[in-house]
């Protein structure tokens, strides 16, 4: 959960004095607040907010809240019935950060979402905010809170104390709420907080089951440290170890995740899983603002040991942050591989983007399936692929094999969602390809000629000097609907072609573009804002392609996940059968 400007806690680099793991007394106002029951919460409750999903910028296959401001996903899990629960940081009262609650949506496929009533809110929004956390299913009733059921839901989260002037300089303590109805209505645990603190930089608990106990990873944000705690019952926590000062530091660490990640070797054989620690950084990412890094390693239930200190990042765009993994899936369940979702925005400009004109701000990334592999010359690499995308696949707009034209244009103005999936596969690339050999994929607005452009240079910047860097780049500078000093235009990542082959695919969804390079070995996520809708995709190839080089491409329209949910007035009302 990112701290944004407000009151005397405004500066992200303010001099804040605290001790890591310093557990002390909590102000009585905060303690009493954590005992408040949902009936006393100070926010609109009992019915979901309606949303207009017809706006020019509103994504059609990515989740966005019905209205107002949304940021980090948190507390996400899949229940025994196969329903995915997405909770998220939400301000139900405005288009910018503040009044932090947990919004809630559910889905059977991670694309067709039903917005639910707000799940959790601060006991008193004037004195506390409800920051990020996680949710687990207490099947064995280790907490003692569910004597007559095996599907009790427990959420652990940060309650952040507010200053009298509205800032967030108060203590951040870890508290608990539980639900007897599957995660729709919650009650605060009467003995909160479950981990006390006097620090205002101690947040974002991620809880998981490990053999015979529970494990929590949590950020000591300004000390670049991830604390590891253990508990037999979700209520009583003991500090076990710390992980700190590895990889990228940035200005603060947030939103950790510890995941048992499948490992598939270069021969596509499943090997032993590798424990992987994910740490989100904001501010201070290499591109400015936010970034997600990860550390492959080992975990014994109390201590995490990385394989090295290298910095590895999940995504090379500027709009991918607060990556979270769904709990209650993995080995022994219907969903074998880890599935994640992230916030597709950046704190440097998220509160200013023009979607506010449509009454909403921010969307989530596509759900992604992951595994770990090893790349020659690189080592450990996280692979990320769209999960279950076939659920929104529509009509095929174009399929071309062995393309010889320099330009192939595919119009999709007739696709109601204004969203498309595209892919390109190239074989027969010469070992020492000329630097002039390139591929461009451009998404163009016919009425304004605005564009977002992708480019791949097969021969690299300078083969002799750099060993064939073969960069892939994204340029959103041709979209003219939004301008801000930190809304930088260009991003690039090295993407070597292997055995003369290279591939890329992606989803363009109105104002959001996600690219998956070489099967998801690299990804790039970027928002963009054109003045008029994009409606054409152009594939441009260098002239005089080398003999033996073959290019195949495909474009498929995507079906809107929201269109069929709209009422006669055009609004999507969500699930109004669950009452708070």
Return the active site residues: 72
State which H helix or E strand residue 131 sits in: strand 128-138
Q: What is the rounded CA–CA span in Å between residue 453 and residue 369? A: 26
Cα angle vertex 41, ends 36, 46, to 5°?
Answer: 130
**First vs last Cα of the chain: how many Å apart?**
25
* Cα dist from 244 to 202, 219, 262, 537, whole Å: 14, 10, 24, 45
- Residue 239 main-chain phi, psi, to 5 deg: -70, 130
Q: What is the rounded CA–CA span in Å between residue 173 and residue 64? A: 28
| Burial state string for 471-485 with b = 16 or more CB within 10 A and e = fewer than 16 | ebbbbbbbbbbbeee
Q: Kindly report the length of the chain.
A: 580
Q: What is the rounded CA–CA span in Å between residue 7 and residue 164? A: 9
Q: Maximum Cα–Cα distance for the chain, whole Å?
A: 76
Decide: 552 and 425 in contact? Cβ < 8 Å. Answer: yes
State which H helix or E strand residue 74 sits in: strand 68-78
Tokens of 270: 């499943």
Decide: 3 and 11 in contact? Cβ < 8 Å. Answer: no
Tokens of 106: 């559910």
State which H helix or E strand residue 346 sits in: none
Residue in the block written with tokens 């707000």: 118
Q: What is the rounded CA–CA span in Å between residue 312 and residue 77? A: 26
Q: What is the rounded CA–CA span in Å between residue 456 and residue 443? A: 15
Cis preceding-peptide flag for 193 (omega within 30 of 0): yes
């Amino acid at each position: 959960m990112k701290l944004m400007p407000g009151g005397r806690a405004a500066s992200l680099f303010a001099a804040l004095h605290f001790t890591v793991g310093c557990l002390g007394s909590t102000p009585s106002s905060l303690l009493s607040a954590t005992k408040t029951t949902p009936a006393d919460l100070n926010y609109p409750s009992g019915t979901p907010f309606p949303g207009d999903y017809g706006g020019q910028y509103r994504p059609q296959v990515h989740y966005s809240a019905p209205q107002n401001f949304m940021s980090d996903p948190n507390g996400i899990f899949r229940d025994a019935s196969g329903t995915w629960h997405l909770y998220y940081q939400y301000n139900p009262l405005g288009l910018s950060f503040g009044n932090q609650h947990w919004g809630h949506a559910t889905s059977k496929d991670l694309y067709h979402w039903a917005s639910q009533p707000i799940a959790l809110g601060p006991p008193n929004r004037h004195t506390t905010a409800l920051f990020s956390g996680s949710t687990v299913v207490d099947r064995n009733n280790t907490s003692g809170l569910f004597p007559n059921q095996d599907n009790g839901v427990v959420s652990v989260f940060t309650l952040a104390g507010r200053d009298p002037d509205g800032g967030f300089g108060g203590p951040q303590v870890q508290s608990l709420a539980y639900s007897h109805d599957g995660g729709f209505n919650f009650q605060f645990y009467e003995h909160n907080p479950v981990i006390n603190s006097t620090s205002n930089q101690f947040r974002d608990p991620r809880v998981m089951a490990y053999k015979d106990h529970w494990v929590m990873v949590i950020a000591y944000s300004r000390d670049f440290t991830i604390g590891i705690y253990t508990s037999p019952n979700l209520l009583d926590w003991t500090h076990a170890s710390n992980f700190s000062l590895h990889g990228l530091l940035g200005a603060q660490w947030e939103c950790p995740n510890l995941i048992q990640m499948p490992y598939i070797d270069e021969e596509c054989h499943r090997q032993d899983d590798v424990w992987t620690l994910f740490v989100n950084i904001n501010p201070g990412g290499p591109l400015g603002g936010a970034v997600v890094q990860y550390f492959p390693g080992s975990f014994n239930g109390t201590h995490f040991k990385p394989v090295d200190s290298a910095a590895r990042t999940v995504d090379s765009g500027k709009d991918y942050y607060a990556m979270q993994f769904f709990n209650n899936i993995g080995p022994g369940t219907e969903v074998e591989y880890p599935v994640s979702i992230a916030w597709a925005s950046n704190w440097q400009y998220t509160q200013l983007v023009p979607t506010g004109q449509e009454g909403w701000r921010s969307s989530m990334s596509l759900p992604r399936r992951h595994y770990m592999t090893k790349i020659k010359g690189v080592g450990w690499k996280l692979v990320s692929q769209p999960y279950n995308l076939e659920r929104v696949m529509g009509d095929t707009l174009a399929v071309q094999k062995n393309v010889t034209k320099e330009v192939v244009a595919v119009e999709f103005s007739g696709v109601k969602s204004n969203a498309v999936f595209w892919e390109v596969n190239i074989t027969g690339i010469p070992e020492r390809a000329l630097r002039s050999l390139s591929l461009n994929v451009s998404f163009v607005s016919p009425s304004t000629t605005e564009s977002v452009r992708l480019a791949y240079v097969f021969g690299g910047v300078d083969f002799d000097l750099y060993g064939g860097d073969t960069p892939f780049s994204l340029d959103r500078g041709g979209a003219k609907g939004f301008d801000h000093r930190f809304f930088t235009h260009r991003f690039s990542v090295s993407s070597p072609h292997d055995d003369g082959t290279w591939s890329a695919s992606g989803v363009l969804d109105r104002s959001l573009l996600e690219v998956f390079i070489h099967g998801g070995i690299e990804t790039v996520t970027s928002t963009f804002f054109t003045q008029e809708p994009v409606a054409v995709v152009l594939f441009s190839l260098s002239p005089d392609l080398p003999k033996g080089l073959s290019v195949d491409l495909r474009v498929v329209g995507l079906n809107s996940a929201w269109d069929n949910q709209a009422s006669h007035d055009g609004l999507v009302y969500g699930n109004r059968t669950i009452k708070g």
